[in-house]
Amino acid sequence: MQKKNELDIQRQILEIIYRSIDDLGEEVQNLKIEKKPETALLGRSSVLDSLTLVNLIVAVEQAVEDEFGMPITAIANEKAMSQEYSPLRTIGTLSEFITSILIELTEG
Amino acid sequence: MKNAQVMLITGTRKGIGRYLAEYYTKKGFRVIGLSRQPIDYKLDHYEHYCLDVADETKVKQMFFELRHKYDALDVLINNAGVASMNHILLTPASTVTNIFNTNVLGTFIFCREAAKWMKKKSFGRIVNFSSAATPMHLEGEAIYAASKAAIVNLTQVMARELADLSITVNAVGPTPLRTDLTRKVQQDKIDNVIARQAIRRYTEYEDISNVIDFFIRPESRFVTGQVVYLGGVCGY
């Protein structure tokens, strides 16, 4: 896959994550999460409690499936949920991680 | 059928699963059933998938298709199960893997995918299948009973994890039924099990649907993490 495509996909994923945050904001009161790649999802700097994070990840997973027209393997495995080197550290690392899953799936 | 509730039942080719598919389509549910092998019957308001419940990729593909077909999933009944009656000294590891794959892994994958879908509507009813073999600690059923014990614990923990999403998770634990699973067991062994029940008879299909009816009704929103054993068998 070309680098440009990879960046396009990542941008698309970021949009999906931001949309999912907006949707979550309608369910969770006082959800204050900045929509930018540096925003922390895990660890002390994160404003999300564990259930809200689970809800966000599931919402993103389903939105990605809908937009790309194929099921993807679970984003949140136990490795991903641990804090050190987790792809869920920030919105940016999450988008990179999902992009890599999609590239792997499309390249078979 | 436009506003019919949608129910997913695993293991509907025969036995209890087929009975439940017939019973709930008659009650007005839109039922999606599945089994490894094709079925030899047809029902109105019923559609069938052929897959192995422990095949995560195929299960995810099925849920992906269903999510685009139906607005919501209301009920999941994890009925699919396999058994093997044997002394542990004569039980190969492959039997353990097979039983745990279908009974535990299959139940888990379906609960996970169903709950992701159910949470969108903030409503869901999940009913798992345990067995009286678990609290009765039946000789010759170590692996089957252990797999059903795992389902009990899975049910209880999932009930807590999914409570905030308004999804209830409960289980029914039948005593011996006249099915393919018990047909291979010696009659005196079955008789001994039934003799230990408070009500000494085989479980009938209607006994199971009665408990499921209770678990899935809207009024049962405060009932979760429960295991109902039939015939007066007591849990731990």
How does pLDDT run across B211-221, given as a tens digit for each residue?
A: 999 999 999 99
Distance CA B107, CA A37 (A): 36
- Run of H or E including B46: strand B46-50
What is the gyration radius of the CA atoms in chain A, in angstroms? 13
Nearest to B116 among A51, A58, A73 (CB): A58
Task: Say what the pLDDT of residue A43 is.
Answer: 86
Can you state the angle between helices B106-118 and B142-162, rounded to 10 degrees? Answer: 20
- B121-165 tens-digit pLDDT: 999 999 999 999 999 999 899 999 999 999 999 999 999 999 999
Q: Within 13 Å, how many C-alpha atoms sit on residue B189's CB side? A: 14
Structure tokens at B139: 């000789």
Under a CB-based contact definition with an 8 Å cutoff, are residues B63 and B51 in contact? no
The minimum CA-CA distance between B169 and chain A, rounded to whole Å, is: 18
What is the helix (H) or strand (E) element at residue B123, kind and residue range?
A: none
Separation of first and last alpha carbons in chain A = 12
Q: What is the pLDDT of residue A1?
A: 47
Q: Is the pLDDT higher at B188 or at B52?
A: B52
Query: Does the distance separating the beta carbons of B64 and A70 come in below 8 Å?
Result: yes
Phi and psi at residue B7, to the nearest 5°: -130, 135
Q: Which residues in chain A are contacts of B119 at CB distance < 8 A? A: 55, 58
The proportion of chain A whose per-residue pLDDT surpasses 90, expressed as a percent, equals: 46
User: How sure is the predictor about B195, in pLDDT bands with cuts at 50, 70 and 90?
Assistant: very high
Contacts of B68 in chain A (CB under 8 A): 66
Question: Which of A29, A53, A61, A62 is most worth mutating to test chain B (most B CB atoms within 10 A of its CB)?
Answer: A62
Rounded to two decimals, the pTM is 0.91
Q: How far is A85 from chain B (nearest CA, A)?
A: 25
